[in-house]
């Protein structure tokens, strides 16, 4: 069987299974079993595939994912996350589009203490969007900033998707986690600047003077009692990695421990909430492990069938430069992001992309951050952006899906401009990991 026919059968099979509605992990596992019989010699091949995939899920590098998820679950279940919103809201006054600016600022803080983009979007959307609409904010201003900063959650550690990308691609997990910080913070600043400029140009988008003014301790108290202590969790995670005193797994464990300590110190953590947090973490972690099993098996099938080598040789024959190859890969990711979820993007592309990255001597951290940026845009892009659908599920019923996508499109454009900036100025992604030894 030729490599092109094998590639067609494998990709056609997985796309068919996804289109009929099978979950991603189940679709890849089903195809792997069938592919083992076709390309790996029947039962002996299936046995080999099973052994290799079990080794993949037993790797220590995946351990940060449940720990990062646990951090966010504890903060959301205990309600401490809502105290952060209140604390930031009291600080920001007399700013055009104030509540939208508060949403971006609060979302940036949550990005530093939670590993779930969907949880951040759902929490901010349900807590702030109805209030903003009642106060007279235009729907695009009440929803767009929340979705945009929710997607940025995956760039700033702790991030479960970043850990998964690093594990599946072989890129340094600590380097990827640290590499996303500067692009994430730049995006947050640009989002705020865009909101302020847009409201200045069209004041009807947001009400004027919609804040309650606080003074003294009433204004700054929550900053010191809740916001800064929770930001310290981010310092624990990143600082321990950057200082070389802990691996990503150990840093995640320290962050989870610090989160539990803070929750207990605030007397917000009950046994019932702790059990609920562990339960939700277990569900997410099990899903991730099934995904890794499917990804590992699929990569092996591509190798055994000759599809991987065939694609690499075909691309190599075109004589593309490293930059041209990166541009092509980014464009593929941006198109895929419109139609499939982020995990599927990784599973479908990494078996081809990473050998190209190695062969062309492309900086893996730089490419990894570009990959994260493309996935971040995919979270927002129509017609299947999962964060857009998350927002639709928490806003009032009269808000249409069309309004949701219109609200998010300016931030999709800003995200694409950030990709261009990282392509032209790689230090945006690589400087901090190099400085901190990531």
* 55-73 tens-digit pLDDT: 656 666 667 778 878 887 8
Q: What is the pLDDT of residues 156-173, one digit of tens each?
A: 887 878 888 888 888 888
426: containing domain: 3-436
Is 0.85 topped by the overall pTM?
Answer: no
Confidence of residue 372 (pLDDT cuts 50, 70, 90): very high
Q: What is the pLDDT of residues 293-351, one digit of tens each?
A: 776 777 777 777 777 677 667 766 777 888 998 999 998 888 878 766 777 788 778 88
- What is the number of structural domains in the chain? 1
Q: What is the pLDDT of residues 104-147, one digit of tens each?
A: 998 888 777 766 677 778 878 888 888 888 888 999 999 999 99
Find all residues with CB under 8 Å of 152, minimum gap 6, and list them: 107, 108, 111, 184, 187, 188, 376
Q: What is the pLDDT of residues 233-285, one digit of tens each?
A: 878 887 887 777 777 788 888 888 888 988 898 888 889 989 998 888 887 77
Cα dihedral angle (217, 219, 225, 231), rounded to 10 degrees?
Answer: -140
pLDDT: is 250 or 81 the higher one? 250
Find all residues with CB under 8 Å of 308, minimum gap 6, and list them: 299, 302, 351, 352, 355
What b-and-e string marks burial along 205-229, b requiring 16 or more CB atoms within 10 Å of the CB?
A: bbeeeebeeeeeeeeeebbeebbeb
What single string gives the DSSP state of each residue in 211-231? PPP--THHHHHHIIIIIHHHH
């Amino acid at each position: 069987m030729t490599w092109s026919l094998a590639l067609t059968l494998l990709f056609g099979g997985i796309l068919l299974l996804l289109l009929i509605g099978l979950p991603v992990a189940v679709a890849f596992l089903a195809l792997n079993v069938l592919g083992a019989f076709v390309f790996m010699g029947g039962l002996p091949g299936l046995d080999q595939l099973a052994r290799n995939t079990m080794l993949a899920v037993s790797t220590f590098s995946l351990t940060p994912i449940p720990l990062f998820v646990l951090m966010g679950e504890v903060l959301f279940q205990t309600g401490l996350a809502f105290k952060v919103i209140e604390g930031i809201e009291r600080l920001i006054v007399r700013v055009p589009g104030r509540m939208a600016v508060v949403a971006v600022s609060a979302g940036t803080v949550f990005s530093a203490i939670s590993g779930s983009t969907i949880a951040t979007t759902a929490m901010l959307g349900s807590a702030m969007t109805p209030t903003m609409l009642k106060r007279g904010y235009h729907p695009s201003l009440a929803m767009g900033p929340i979705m945009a900063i929710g997607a940025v959650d995956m760039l700033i550690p702790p991030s479960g998707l970043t850990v998964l990308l690093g594990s599946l691609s072989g890129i340094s997990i600590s380097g990827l986690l640290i590499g996303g910080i500067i692009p994430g913070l730049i995006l947050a600043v640009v989002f705020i600047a865009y909101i302020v400029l847009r409201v200045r140009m069209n004041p009807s988008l947001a009400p004027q003077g919609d804040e309650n003014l606080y003074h003294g301790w009433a204004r700054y108290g929550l900053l010191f009692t809740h916001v800064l202590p929770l930001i310290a969790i981010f310092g624990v995670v990143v600082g321990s990695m950057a200082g070389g005193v802990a691996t990503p797994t150990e840093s995640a464990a320290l962050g989870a421990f610090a989160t539990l300590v803070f929750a207990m110190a605030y007397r917000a953590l009950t046994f019932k909430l702790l059990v609920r947090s562990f339960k939700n973490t277990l569900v997410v972690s099990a899903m991730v492990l099934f995904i890794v099993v499917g990804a590992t098996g699929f990569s092996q099938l591509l190798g055994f069938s000759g599809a991987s080598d065939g694609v690499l040789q075909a691309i190599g024959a075109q004589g593309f430069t490293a930059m041209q190859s990166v541009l092509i890969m980014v464009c593929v990711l941006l198109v895929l992001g419109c139609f499939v979820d982020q995990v599927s993007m990784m599973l479908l592309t990494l078996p081809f992309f990473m050998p190209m990255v190695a062969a062309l001597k492309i900086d893996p951290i730089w490419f990894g951050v570009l990959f994260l940026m493309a996935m971040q845009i995919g979270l927002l892009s129509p017609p299947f952006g999962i964060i857009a659908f998350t927002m639709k599920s928490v806003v009032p019923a009269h808000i249409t899906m069309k309004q949701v996508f219109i609200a998010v499109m300016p931030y999709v454009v800003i995200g694409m401009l950030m990709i261009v900036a990282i392509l032209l100025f790689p230090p945006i992604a690589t400087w901090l990991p190099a400085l901190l030894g990531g």
